[in-house]
Amino acid sequence: MTTARPAWTGLVPVDDTALHVRDTGGRGRPVVYLNGAYADQSHWRRVIADLGDDYRHITYDERARGRSRRSADYSFEGAIRDLDAVLEARGVDRPLLVGWSYGGILAWHWADRNPDRVAGAVVVDAFPVGLTGEEGRDRIRKLFRRMRLFLPIAARLGLAARMTADQHADVNIELNEIGAASTPVLERLTCPVRFVLATGDSLGSRGGEMERGRTVLDPLLATNPNLAVGAKVPSNHSKILRHDSPTVARVVRELAASPGQAAREAG
């Protein structure tokens, strides 16, 4: 029988910072939630409520988000180290990763690097495309500079980081470049991955860009049997966790209950 873990909330140190972590404890399968680029862990509360006590839910705020401390390093590699630190601190082995946007890309990269340590991933509206090149970088920087006065307010609402507009832009530029170069990673993933896809555009996108981007998954789904679409929902990218949490929870349950999961855990 799996040993019940006590609930825990606290700070996990990593590099020059500390991350605010919540662990509901219990005997259930550990599910680790990975946030959007500037979001805090509060965005998962509806999904967690929908899944209930059958799972052990672990959420955390990335650097300078939510209640976590600031850092000198907001890179994607720093985010990889943060996930490693949280898993080690909470004694989690073979988690089911559930990532939204930035967190979805983080999930598939961590799974690629740790194929024997992951049970699977549910990726919420992330796909291997991005704005790249000088034109893309310029567009991203202009977007965040226009938003600079709103960012401190958005940070208090869990929608932005405690960063400057240029730091927000740097995070987004790196994410777009990593996302756009992720096709080989998805081609070789050996763990089960289920995508929950939104519909339409979102903040910073226009003219159906995101819907076209989602079609990039089609050839990957055709060639890698470990990848599948669990659901396509009517909400847009920004509102998917608010309006379609029951669907995300359903896909998590289906992946956790899939026949291949027992084999992976036994192996």
CATH of the domain at 223: 3.40.50.1820
In a domain, 194, yes or no: yes
Roughly what angle, to the nearest 10 degrees, separates helices 102-113 and 165-180? 50
Give the pLDDT band of residue 209 (cuts 50, 70, 90). Answer: confident
State the DSSP string of the chain. Answer: -PPPBPPEEEEEEETTEEEEEEE--BSSEEEEEE--TT--GGGGHHHHHHHGGGEEEEEEPPTTSTTSPP-S--SHHHHHHHHHHHHHHTT--SPEEEEETHHHHHHHHHHHH-TTS--EEEEES--S----HHHHHHHHHHHHHHTTTTHHHHHHTTSS-SS-HHHHHHHHHHHHHHHHT-HHHHHH--S-EEEEE--S--TT--TTHHHHHHTTHHHHHHH-TTEEEEEE-SS-TTTHHHH-HHHHHHHHHHHHHSHHHHHHHH-
Residue 169 lies in a domain: no
Full-model pTM: 0.95
Is position 257 within any domain? yes
Question: Which pLDDT belongs to residue 258?
Answer: 86
Residue 148 domain-assigned?
no
Q: What's the confidence (pLDDT) of residue 46?
A: 98
57 within domain boundaries: yes
pLDDT, tens only, 43-55: 999 999 999 999 9
Confidence at residue 263, expressed as pLDDT on a 0 to 100 scale: 46
CA distance 31 to 246: 16
Q: Give the domain range for residue 190.
A: 8-129+182-266
Q: How far apart are CA 47 and CA 96, in angstroms?
A: 14
Query: What does the mean pLDDT of the chain come to?
Result: 94
Q: How many domains does one find in the chain?
A: 1
Residue 174 belongs to some domain of the structure: no
Task: Report yes or no on 159 lying in a domain.
Answer: no
Q: Give the type of residue at 2.
A: T
Percent of the chain with pLDDT over 70: 94
For residue 204, is pLDDT > 80? Answer: no
Residue 11 clears pLDDT 60, i.e. is over it: yes
Calculate the CA 45 to chain-centre distance: 14
61, part of any domain: yes
152-180 confidence digits (pLDDT tens): 999 999 999 999 999 999 999 999 999 99
Note the pLDDT of residue 265: 55
